[in-house]
Amino acid sequence: MTITSTSLMSLRDFFSDHKILICFNGPISTNLIGEIGSAIKEHIESNHAPDLEVMDVFSVYIEMSQNIKNYASTKGFNDTESSATVVIAAADPGHYAVCACNLVEMEHGKALVERIRTLADCDKAQLKALYKEQLRRPRSELQGSGAGLGLIEIARRSSQPMEASLEPVDTGRAFFSLRAII
């Protein structure tokens, strides 16, 4: 389906309705992660947000997008497979939503959803303890587990539990979506 000027308007409406500030859809690269990161900082700073909020949104965004980038590299994904959707939107006053969606193997997706459910039950003190425990884990134990420290960091910066979902596609894979509210 070729895009029309009308469909562009409905895309624009969707962005406005969901208060989307910055959105990206496509193969994610290191340069892009850096550029979008700078744009996020500038954008939120220009809204006179406290620096605390700026750094928290930035940190959550970096962990989320680097997790996706690392996963795609580890899996040897091609451009189509490593295509990700990253969205930064305004939420309730003083809050922001950072969301990302990417292709994962079904088993990894299920493990991630399970992990996020566990983190949702933790209070800030428990998250800090988990974080320190993960930091102290020998590197040899970390092979393949990925996402570990990044997810805990996101949970620590979030003002409410993360929300995750899995949308199965063919070939035993799924789109994994994650939303954090800062």
Residues in contact with another protein by CB under 8 A are 30, 34, 37-38, 51-52, 55-56, 58-59, 62-63, 66, 69, 128, 132, 135-136, 149-150, 153
Residue 47: CB minimum distance to another protein, A: 16
Of 37 and 161, the one with the shorter C-beta distance to another protein is: 37
Of 59 and 158, the one with the shorter C-beta distance to another protein is: 59
Please tell me the distance from the alpha carbon of residue 156 to that of residue 61, in angstroms, as a whole number.
13
Residue 18: CB minimum distance to another protein, A: 27
Residue 159: CB minimum distance to another protein, A: 15
Residue 172: CB minimum distance to another protein, A: 29
Please tell me the distance from the alpha carbon of residue 87 to that of residue 84, in angstroms, as a whole number.
10
Under 8 Å between Cβ of 167 and 175: yes
Of 11 and 135, the one with the shorter C-beta distance to another protein is: 135
Task: Provide the 10 A C-beta neighbour count for residue 9.
Answer: 10
Of 63 and 177, the one with the shorter C-beta distance to another protein is: 63
Under 8 Å between Cβ of 116 and 178: yes
Residue 82: CB minimum distance to another protein, A: 14
Considering only CA atoms, which of 98, 146, 162, 155 is closest in space to residue 125?
155
Of 69 and 115, the one with the shorter C-beta distance to another protein is: 69
Structure tokens at 92: 């309730």
How many helices (H) and strands (E) the chain has is answered by 7, 5
Question: For 145, phi and psi rounded to 5 degrees?
Answer: -75, -30
Of 10 and 30, the one with the shorter C-beta distance to another protein is: 30
Under 8 Å between Cβ of 57 and 65: no
Residue 67: CB minimum distance to another protein, A: 10
